[in-house]
């Protein structure tokens, strides 16, 4: 029997600093485990950075902040929904049994209220963006709503998470293109200038990031191999079994190739390549270090993707610089 990891380390900031009355709510939104916020936010920043570099300008700082706040709120809402749906499964898994709902700290009705509140604030942020971004943001709700059920019907819920978590890449790309907003249509704000761009680099980037998530969430699933088998929960790690490391390598290679193709098709400059090489090296080291009998190590490898994603954002921004004649 492997060592059972807690849902979050006891040294997390919520347990150390948050008022006791707020702790269950912050844990419901996984604010004690911020890696998920960054992994949801970074694809949006990548889409914004890609659009900016294709246009020869820096990313919009206001838009970056909006995506940070929106990612934190929507990740919290998604986690609450996941916990509502999975409360019976969570009660059977040692790592998740002390989450607020199965532990009885928050009722299902209270969790719904939390979910709705986070979603409404996120909607207000979304409505300040152009109509393409609003449409993409609304469309993402179908992906979010379906995700908790994927582990019941497919061995590859990690692939669906890839579709969901990386939706911010095309959304960020679209938001960076300017154009009419709902507020400008009713005359409350001036209409921003439209900056048309070829959307295919963003589509290819999105495809590459799906493989990135498929890789890192397969690593994450290694933590729960035994409990998932007992509870009947499906995962890519269970499906791949002893071939998990090879699978992760394959996912990461596909990610690297597609991200490189997105940069090339978008006309990004060669300064993108050094950070992209570092990104590829970080992914390859994760795959090489993965051990199925080391859940603690798997969690550390999963968390390292925050830094890998940040390096990729830097690479997409660096692609802004193009030598003369490039």
Distances, alpha carbon 107 to alpha carbons 7, 94, 114, in Å? 19, 20, 11
How many whole angstroms separate alpha carbon 162 and alpha carbon 149?
15
pLDDT given at position 192: 77
Three-state DSSP class for residue 189: coil
Cβ–Cβ < 8 Å for 245, 289: no
The larger pLDDT score, comparing residue 7 to residue 28, is at 28
Rg (CA), the chain: 20
First to last CA, the chain: 57
What are 194's strand-pairing partners?
178
Q: Is the pLDDT of residue 171 over 80?
A: yes
Three-state DSSP class for residue 215: helix
pLDDT given at position 3: 44
C-alpha 271: how far from chain center: 25
pLDDT given at position 143: 93
DSSP for 83-127, written as a single string:
HHHTHHHHHHSTTTTTSTTTTTSS-HHHHHHHHHHHHHHHHHHHT
pLDDT given at position 138: 93
Per-residue pLDDT reduced to its tens digit, 225-247: 877 787 778 899 999 999 999 99
The predicted model gives 141-154 an average pLDDT of: 89
How many whole angstroms separate alpha carbon 31 and alpha carbon 23?
9
pTM of the model: 0.89
Confidence class for position 261, pLDDT limits 50, 70, 90: very high
For 136-141, the CB contacts below 8 A with 24+ separation are: 136/167, 136/170, 136/171, 136/174, 137/171, 139/167, 140/164, 140/167, 140/171
Domains recognised in the chain with CATH numbers:
21-318 (1.10.357.140)
pLDDT given at position 6: 52
Lowest-confidence region among 83-97, 105-119, 172-186, 279-293: 83-97
Per-residue pLDDT reduced to its tens digit, 179-191: 888 877 877 677 7
Q: Quick count: other Cβ atoms within 10 Å of Cβ 292?
A: 16
Please count the residues of the chain. 326
Per-residue pLDDT reduced to its tens digit, 18-72: 899 999 999 999 998 889 999 999 999 999 999 999 999 999 999 999 999 999 9
pLDDT given at position 297: 93
Per-residue pLDDT reduced to its tens digit, 180-220: 888 778 776 777 778 889 999 999 999 999 999 999 999 99
Q: Is the pLDDT of residue 266 over 90?
A: yes
Confidence class for position 10, pLDDT limits 50, 70, 90: low
Distances, alpha carbon 286 to alpha carbons 176, 252, 280, in Å? 32, 10, 10
pLDDT given at position 89: 75
Q: Quick count: other Cβ atoms within 10 Å of Cβ 55?
A: 16
Tally of CA atoms within 13 A in the half-sphere of 310 that contains its CB? 8
User: Given phi > 0 = left and psi -120 to 50 = alpha, else beta, which region is 70?
Assistant: alpha
Residue burial 175-202, b: 16+ Cβ < 10 Å; e: rest: bbbbbebeeeeeeeeeeeeeeebeeebb
């Amino acid at each position: 029997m492997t060592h059972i990891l807690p849902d979050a380390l006891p040294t997390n900031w919520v347990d150390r600093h948050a008022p006791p009355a707020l702790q269950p709510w912050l844990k419901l939104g996984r604010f004690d485990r911020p890696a998920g916020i960054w992994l949801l936010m970074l694809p949006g920043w990548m889409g914004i950075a890609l659009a900016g570099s294709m246009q020869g300008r820096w990313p919009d700082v206001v838009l970056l902040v909006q995506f940070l706040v929106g990612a934190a709120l929507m990740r919290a809402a998604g986690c609450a929904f996941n916990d509502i749906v999975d409360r019976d499964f969570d009660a059977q898994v040692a790592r998740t049994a002390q989450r607020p709902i199965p532990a009885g700290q928050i009722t299902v009705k209270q969790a719904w209220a939390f979910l709705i509140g986070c979603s409404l604030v996120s909607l207000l942020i979304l409505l300040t963006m152009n109509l393409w971004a609003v449409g993409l943001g609304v469309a993402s709700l179908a992906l979010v709503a379906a995700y908790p059920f994927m582990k019941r019907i497919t061995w590859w819920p990690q692939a669906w998470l890839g579709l969901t978590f990386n939706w911010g890449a095309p959304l960020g790309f679209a938001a960076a293109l300017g154009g009419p907003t709902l507020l400008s249509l009713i005359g409350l704000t001036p209409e921003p200038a439209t900056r048309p761009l070829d959307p295919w680099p963003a589509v290819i980037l999105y495809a590459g990031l799906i493989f990135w998530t498929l890789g890192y969430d397969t690593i994450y699933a290694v933590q729960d191999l035994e409990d998932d088998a007992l509870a009947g929960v499906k995962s890519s790690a269970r499906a791949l079994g002893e071939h998990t490391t090879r699978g992760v390598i394959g996912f990461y290679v596909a990610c690297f190739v597609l991200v490189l193709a997105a940069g090339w098709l978008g006309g990004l400059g060669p300064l993108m390549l050094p950070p992209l090489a570092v990104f590829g090296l970080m992914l390859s080291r994760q795959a090489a270090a993965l051990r199925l009998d080391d859940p603690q190590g798997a969690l550390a490898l999963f968390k390292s993707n925050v830094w890998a994603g940040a390096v990729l954002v830097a690479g997409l921004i660096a692609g802004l610089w193009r030598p003369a004649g490039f």
